[in-house]
Amino acid sequence: MPIRASALFDEFKERNILSGFRGDDALLERVTAATHCGPGALVFVDRAEFVAAVCERGAAGVITTPELADAFAGLAGGAVMTTPDLKLARALVIQAHFDRDLRPEDEPRIHPSAVVHSTATVDPSARIGAHAFVGARAAIGPDAVLLTGVVVEDGARIGARTVLHPKVVVGYDCVLGDDVIVRAGTILGSEGFGFAQDQQRKSHRIPQLGNVVIEDRVVVGANCCIDRGTHGATRIASGTVLDNLCHIAHNVEIGEDCILTAMLCVAGSTKIGKRVITSGQTGIIDHRVIGDDVVLLHRAGVATDVTEAGAYAGVPLMPLREHVKREGSIRRLAGMREALRALEARIEALEKGGG
């Protein structure tokens, strides 16, 4: 939604996100990249190489660092605002005023093609999109949004302002807190992978009777699978964010404010602490404990508990510094082998000459 630069500055100055203002009180209509800006555009700039393009194209507003602010003296008719943390400013400003509008006033709050069970509770401010389904005794909180094709099964609860993108499935009795975002195609509360084998090694399903609890402000990427607990809950604590294509098995517990990137696979009953970071394709076997402030890198394979904070990598898992040294040694092995062969040949020649 368009906003005057002065109003934007006043709003975020009170939150200590914006710290300085100079120039004209232009109308900010949209956010663009610095290289594609023009009249009405707000841009975020942290590199001097983009200053000339922004000034030439006549952006309506710039949010930049205090160190770069003077470089925008040539910006005619625009506002220059400074921030101590450009990345955070970008996140909060765009969320507040330029994000996708998921609650348009010109559309019905419940689409005619949606199916809502008569025993479900839907807050009057919630929005339910085309072909969505809300099951018996389910509860949809204030300002929640269910987009096209979402399924909320019996007894599930969706918190305030939570957004479920197309084709998300929330299994029966699962609970999502406030301000949760779940991207398209994700399944929360699928049955955990539990089987018993008889003497002929035939597998027999163990019903998984627990649920999934997603706390406030969690973001779950597209096409993730989070399995329900065997008896209790699979739980993801507040503020944690998951990338696309993550698998979280039954009874896993994940702490607050973790950053978990694509293709993470966590096996059953593992407990992950607070502020844990994992890089792509990290794998953690079952019944492990990962402590607070652990960072797992380079396709880490976790087969033992990691209780001390720090960075770890590799298979088998080791402190990052050791992993880097090992990888460096491995890259030198081919040359070392050739040198060893040459040395063996010289020794052999010397031995023959001596004989």
Strand partners, 312: 296, 319
- Give the Cα-Cα-Cα angle 212, 216, 219 (nearest 5 degrees): 80
**Cα 306 from Cα 351, distance rounded (Å):** 52
342 Cα distance to chain centroid: 52
Exposed e or buried b per residue across 222-241, where buried means at least 16 C-beta atoms within 10 angstroms of its C-beta = bbbbbbbbbeebbbbbbbbb
Provide the terminal-to-terminal Cα distance of the chain, rounded to the nearest Å.
91
Residues in Cβ contact with 247 at an 8 Å cutoff, skipping those fewer than 6 apart: 224, 225, 226, 264, 265, 266
Is-contact 96 80, C-beta < 8 A? no
Cα distances from 4 to residues 10, 34, 59, 69, in angstroms, run 10, 19, 13, 19
**Tokens representing 43?**
């841009």
The answer to whether residue 250 is catalytic is yes
If phi > 0 it is left, if psi is from -120 to 50 it is alpha, else beta; for residue 9 that is alpha
What's 62's DSSP letter? Answer: E
| Dmax (CA) of the chain | 100
**Catalytic choice (250, 287, 298, 323):** 250
**Cα 225 from Cα 207, distance rounded (Å):** 17
Residues recognised as catalytic: 250
